[in-house]
Amino acid sequence: MSRRKTNEEKDESGSSEKVVVAQLSEKTLLATGIRVGTLVRTKDMEKFISRTRPDGLRIIDLEKILSRIDVAAKSIARSDIKRIVVCSAKEYGKTPVEMFCSLTGAIPVTGRFMPGTFTNPLYPEHIDPELVIVADPMIDARAIEEASKVGVPVIAICDTDNVTSNIDLVIPGNNRGRRALATIFWLLARAVLVHSGALTPDQPMKHSIEDFETKTVEESAK
């Protein structure tokens, strides 16, 4: 995946839904809130929005979410998975990122992104990535900035209020909701496994969306 804007629409097709979703029903998928955006709509994200609810919340086109997840998965499957870094500084992104990485072999970077992780070879925790994935371009701006400086492409999960500067491939979706974010990473992991040949399109995942969801303190105590 080269450092340029990818021809995203060229790779999108109706066949992506089966690869990404498989045995997950549309009702189950919609219940996660994956397509519920914010009250804000940026110019960058206009093309992914299908409608606005009476309460003002923007609704993201579900087909575009699924097709972009499939496009991203194809790029990930073609890359050296051991050099793919997945970042999330937000609390609810920790478990989804770690689960995705445990299933695919990518490198998780959660919590605060340390300066120099991509740009300073002398930094003890330095990583030389081939591809970077972020859960929220607003929260993970430092990771995007460093990836851009070293010429590494970025895939980002973007909500309706996000700006997509220095992002090579947008995955539209609700990146604020705990369950929604878990669902996106579950779908992405499944699609990567299918495109890498580790899973057949009709084969179920061993892990559920709940396994990808970061638990609250109360839930963890149970």
What CATH code is carried by the domain that includes residue 153? 3.40.50.10490
Assigned domain for 71 exists: yes
Residue 219: predicted pLDDT: 54
Assigned domain for 189 exists: yes
Q: Greater confidence, 137 or 11?
A: 137
Q: Are 31 and 139 in contact (CB under 8 A)?
A: no
Residue 10: predicted pLDDT: 45
Assigned domain for 40 exists: no
Q: Are 45 and 172 in contact (CB under 8 A)?
A: yes
Give phi and psi for 32, each to the nearest 5.
-80, -10
Tally of CB atoms within 10 A around 40: 13
Assigned domain for 56 exists: no
> What is the per-residue pLDDT across 107-140, written as a single tens digit (0 to 9) for each?
999 999 999 999 999 999 999 999 999 999 999 9
For 172, the enclosing helix (H) or strand (E) is strand 169-172
What SS3 state is found at 41?
coil
Assigned domain for 69 exists: yes
> What is the per-residue pLDDT across 140-171, written as a single tens digit (0 to 9) for each?
999 999 999 999 999 999 999 999 999 999 99
Domain span including residue 194: 14-34+61-221
Spatial CB neighbours of 188, under 8 Å, sequence gap ≥ 6: 69, 72, 73, 76, 100, 171
Per the structure, the count of domains in the chain is 1
Assigned domain for 160 exists: yes
Residue 208: predicted pLDDT: 94
Assigned domain for 211 exists: yes
Residue 23: predicted pLDDT: 65
